[in-house]
Every structure is written in structure tokens, then in C-alpha cells.
């Protein structure tokens, strides 16, 4: 390194492992911001944050937050999270998801994002494999690579409502596999798995002595049928559950989530201790938010019904527009707030990222390329968009998308 006193410019080197991470959902923003700086109006359909649209944190929860701050709940808390909150989560999981958990087996985290990081860090050694759905929520892929593991993507089948392809899942299990991951309801596809599918995954995990990791952050944002939690079905296969409050309580910016461990015979005890150890290093998650959510969870979840109904109308609208188009195909999402349409072969793009950037440049609509949700391959051109905005905005966005696709279609 050149000493500072020499006056020469010197570049601080970046660690190699940073190259392993990416987050397509926010990476595309850079391009949109540049366009906006030039005066172009952009419709943002990239980030799954209801608070960027016409959804707001329930008033009662805001009041709990003011109260917590006013009452002086502003110091550090226990690294595992407040016992009041862990108890409230245990009651929520019992009442909503039929999952019985000792609060001692629940750890509060700074969003599910932190839980993914701490879990993967504690679970894998160099070269270990984790089985992830294809497509997948990107941090699962990024963190697996960051910790020098190997994300192995199992196929989920568009023809079968984007459910996991069990044969492919079985085939991909190896000596190095550490866990089977599922995201249910799914981001980006909106699939909500049936009990039969969940039981098949439990059987496969049981046969191979593997734990299942299930991300259920959208558990209460479901439009058709009933959501079934993986942990409510498993008897002796260890389940690591990831969940949080960003979406269901409309507090994405407060950063609060949790990880839980459901086991019969202490199979997860070492892993749980490891995760606690890692989380002690980051001290604790947001204390006033923990108090506020603990109090609020014990009172009401009245806002959810209105929120889900509002979203259902938007989902139905966007699906009607997609079905009317001969250039898009999409499996109707049953949960979460994303659509993941496939673009017809008559659109001459080989890379979805080129399509997304041209759509942004020409029509000012920002979506996320399907390839951002995989580390391997997706057969076909896909993009993900949120259906969180008001109907007028969705209508405008769909008109622009249609115009773009029609302009680029190859006429036969």
C-alpha cells in the first residue's frame, strides 16, 4: 500500500466475497434513479413494500410505538428478543398457524433478512449445499454463496401451479446437502403449497435426515384457500421457521422478524445456540419496535382483512389484464403480492434484463428480471412485478407494458 503521506491516490481493495452477493430487486433501482434525474416519470413495481403505496401501519400499532418510546423503552434488549414478544409470537403461531412453540425456541431478528444471514452462516461449511426453490427470493442465494456454500436449485413447476418438482428435489440431494428450503407463500411466484405437497417434502427430508427451512413471511396474505404452515404438519422432521412483521403488520422499515425451531429430540439445539451466539454479536433488534409489536399482537389483527381484500381486487385486475394479453402468461398468485409473468416467444429478447431495461427506458415502468430470482436457469423470459399500487396506477402500468410488448413483437 502506498503511504498516505506520499500524496498518491490509492484504492482500498474490496473483499472477494462481496462479489458473491446481489439483490436484483434493488439493483435495478440505479437505472430508474438515473432516468428520474433526467426528468422521466417512473412507475415503481419492483419492491415488495406496501408502505410505498396506499397501505399504512395500523394506527394502534403506531400508538404502541409512540408509547414505547415515551415510556423509555429505548435501550438495548436481550439478544434473543424480549420475552414479551417471544411469548406473543408463540401465541400468534399457535392461533394463526396451529404451530405449538416454546418461546425459548423463538429468536427475534432484525427482519427475516437477518434471520437468513444468521441461519446460513451457522448451517454451512465451505462447499455445503442448500436446496432452494427455483425461482427463489434472492438473499437465500446470495447468503449461501457469501458463506462459501453452494445453492442448489430444485425445479418448481409452472405447469403445476409452481409447486416443487419432487423428483427433481430428490435427485438434487447429495452428501453435502444441509437443508431443504421452501418459501410459502412464495416470492416471486405467489404459489401457496397444499398440505399434500408439504407432506411430501417432509417425507423426503425425513428419509434423508434433513431439516426443513420454511419462510412463511406472507402467511396471512393469502387470497384463495387456506394457508397451512409446514411446522403444523411435521411430527419428527426438524423445522426451522422464518417469519416476520414487515408485510403483515405493515412495518417494513421497523425491521422485525423471527426464527423458530421446532424439534422433537433437540436435533436443532446446536444450531439454535450457534445462531444465538451470532446474534449476540449484533447486540439486539430494535427495542421500542419489539415492545410495540408485542403489545399490538396481543390485541388485534383487524387491519389484515381490509388489506387482503384490497390486494385481492388488485390481483384480480392484474390477472385479468395478463389473461387478456396474448404476449404474457401467468399462473394466478394465491398469496403474497407479486405476479411472475412469462413473456411470449414472439418478443425478440434473449435476456430478461435487457427487456426490463428497455421497458424502463421506453415506458418508464420498473419491474425485476426473472433471472434475479435464480442462480441457474429459468426456461423462458420472466419478470416480477408487485400488484401493490392503486388500480389506476396498475392500469397505467399495464397499458405501458402492453404498448412496449406490442412495439417489439415479431409479426408472423
How far apart, in whole angstroms, are the C-alpha atoms of residue 68 and residue 84? Answer: 13
Residue among 68, 88, 112, 398 that touches ligand PLP (CB under 6 A): 112
- Check: CB of residue 371 under 8 Å from CB of residue 343: no
Nearest to 83 by CA among 100, 70, 102: 102
> Can you tell me the distance from the alpha carbon of 406 to that of 398, in angstroms, rounded to the nearest whole number?
12
Phi, psi of 154 (to 5 degrees): -95, 150
State which residue, 219 or 363, has the beta carbon closest to ligand PLP: 219
Nearer to ligand PLP, 244 or 372 (CB): 244
Looking at beta carbons, which residue is closest to ligand PLP? 111
Regarding 234 and contact with ligand PLP (CB under 6 A), the answer is no
SS3 per-residue string spanning 243-282: EECCCCCCCCCCCCEEEEEECCCCCCHHHHHHHHHHHHHC
> Which of the ranges 15-23, 50-58, 109-117, 197-205 carries the binding residues for ligand PLP, by CB under 6 A?
109-117
The C-alpha cell that represents 138 in the structure block: 434472492
Single out the residue of 97, 122, 144, 187 in contact with ligand PLP (rule: CB under 6 A): 187
By three-state DSSP, how is residue 179 classified? strand
Query: Which three cell numbers mark 365?
Result: 415502468
Q: Is residue 325 involved in binding ligand PLP (CB under 6 A)?
A: no
- Full DSSP string of 275-302: HHHHHHHT--S-HHHHHHHHHHHTT--T
If the CB atoms of residues 244 and 364 are measured against ligand PLP, the closer one turns out to be 244
**Residues binding ligand PLP: what is the number (CB under 6 A)?**
13
Residue 183 binds to ligand PLP (criterion: CB under 6 A): yes
CB of 266 to ligand PLP, least distance (A): 27
Gap between the Cα atoms of 81 and 75, Å rounded: 12
CB under 6 A: which stretch of 66-74, 108-116, 174-182, 203-211 binds ligand PLP? 108-116
Q: What is the per-residue binding string for ligand PLP in 115-144, x denoting contact by CB under 6 A?
A: ----------------------x-------
Query: Smallest distance from the beta carbon of 386 to ligand PLP, in angstroms?
Result: 10
Choosing from 113, 156, 177, 325, the residue that interacts with ligand PLP (CB under 6 A) is 113
Estimate to the nearest angstrom the gap between the alpha carbon of 275 and the chain centroid: 20
Query: Site mask, ligand PLP, residues 257-296, x = CB under 6 A?
Result: x---------------------------------------
Closest among 284, 244, 249, 247 to 260, alpha carbons compared: 244
Residues that bind ligand PLP (CB under 6 A): 48, 111-113, 137, 183, 187, 215, 217, 244, 246, 252, 257
Amino acid at each position: 500500500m502506498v503511504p498516505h503521506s506520499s500524496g498518491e491516490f490509492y484504492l482500498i481493495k474490496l473483499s472477494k466475497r462481496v462479489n458473491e452477493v446481489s439483490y436484483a430487486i434493488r439493483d435495478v433501482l440505479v437505472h430508474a434513479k438515473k432516468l428520474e434525474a433526467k426528468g422521466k416519470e417512473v412507475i415503481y413495481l419492483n419492491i415488495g413494500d406496501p408502505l410505498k403505496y396506499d397501505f399504512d401501519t395500523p394506527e394502534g400499532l403506531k400508538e404502541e410505538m409512540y408509547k414505547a418510546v415515551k415510556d423509555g423503552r429505548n435501550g438495548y434488549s436481550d439478544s434473543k428478543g424480549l420475552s414479551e414478544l417471544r411469548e406473543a409470537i408463540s401465541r400468534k403461531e399457535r392461533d394463526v398457524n396451529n404451530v405449538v412453540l416454546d418461546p425459548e425456541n423463538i429468536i427475534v431478528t432484525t427482519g427475516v433478512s437477518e434471520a437468513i444471514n444468521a441461519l446460513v452462516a451457522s448451517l454451512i461449511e465451505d462447499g455445503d449445499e442448500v436446496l432452494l426453490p427455483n425461482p427463489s427470493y434472492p438473499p437465500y442465494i446470495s447468503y449461501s454463496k457469501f458463506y462459501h456454500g453452494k445453492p442448489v436449485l430444485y425445479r418448481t413447476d409452472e405447469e403445476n401451479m409452481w409447486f416443487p418438482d419432487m423428483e427433481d428435489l430428490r435427485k438434487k440431494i447429495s452428501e453435502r446437502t444441509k437443508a431443504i428450503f421452501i418459501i410459502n407463500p412464495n416470492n416471486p411466484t405467489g404459489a401457496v403449497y397444499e398440505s399434500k405437497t408439504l407432506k411430501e417434502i417432509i417425507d423426503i427430508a425425513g428419509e434423508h435426515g434433513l431439516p426443513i427451512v420454511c419462510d412463511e413471511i406472507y402467511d396471512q396474505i393469502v387470497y384463495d384457500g387456506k394457508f397451512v404452515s409446514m411446522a403444523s404438519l411435521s411430527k419428527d422432521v426438524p423445522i426451522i421457521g422464518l417469519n416476520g412483521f414487515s408485510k403483515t403488520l405493515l412495518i417494513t422499515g421497523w425491521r422485525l422478524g423471527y426464527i423458530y425451531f421446532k424439534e422433537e429430540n433437540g436435533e436443532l439445539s446446536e444450531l439454535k445456540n450457534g445462531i444465538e451466539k451470532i446474534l449476540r454479536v449484533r447486540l439486539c433488534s430494535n427495542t421500542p419496535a419489539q415492545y410495540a409489536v408485542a403489545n399490538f399482537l396481543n390485541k388485534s389483527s383487524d387491519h389484515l382483512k381490509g388489506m387482503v381484500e384490497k390486494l385481492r381486487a388488485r390481483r384480480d385486475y392484474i390477472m385479468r389484464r395478463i389473461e387478456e394479453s396474448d404476449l404474457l402468461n401467468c399462473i394466478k398468485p394465491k398469496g403474497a403480492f407479486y405476479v411472475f409473468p412469462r413473456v411470449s416467444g414472439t418478443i425478440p429478447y434473449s435476456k430478461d434484463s435487457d427487456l426490463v431495461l428497455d421497458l424502463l427506458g421506453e415506458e418508464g415502468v420498473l419491474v425485476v428480471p426473472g433471472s434475479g430470482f435464480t442462480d441457474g436457469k429459468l426456461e423462458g423470459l420472466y419478470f416480477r412485478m408487485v400488484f401493490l399500487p392503486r388500480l389506476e396506477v396498475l392500469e397505467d402500468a399495464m397499458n405501458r407494458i402492453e404498448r412496449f410488448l406490442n412495439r417489439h413483437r415479431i409479426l408472423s
